[in-house]
Amino acid sequence: MAKPLKVDEIWLERIAELLDDMEFGSLHIVVHEGQIVQMERTERKRFENSSARISGEAGSRRTDSRSVGRG
């Protein structure tokens, strides 16, 4: 029979701390014999696509190294 999960105030604080300020991501909680033994936080950062304009400008000024020195 499975042991009941033991979650005390300390673990609740740790969980809340890891979730704090997370916009996109996940929190993986590993339980062993009814006790939390590990937590893994995976966070995703999403950025506006304003870099397309910048890379387009830089791309027009960039010289392809393969064509340098060819006549």
pLDDT digits (tens, 9 = 90+) for 60-70: 444 444 444 44
Whole-angstrom distance, CA of residue 40 vs CA of residue 32: 15
52 torsion bin: left (phi>0), alpha (psi -120 to 50), beta (else): alpha
Cβ atoms of 26 and 20 closer than 8 Å? no
pLDDT digits (tens, 9 = 90+) for 3-27: 888 888 999 999 999 999 899 999 9
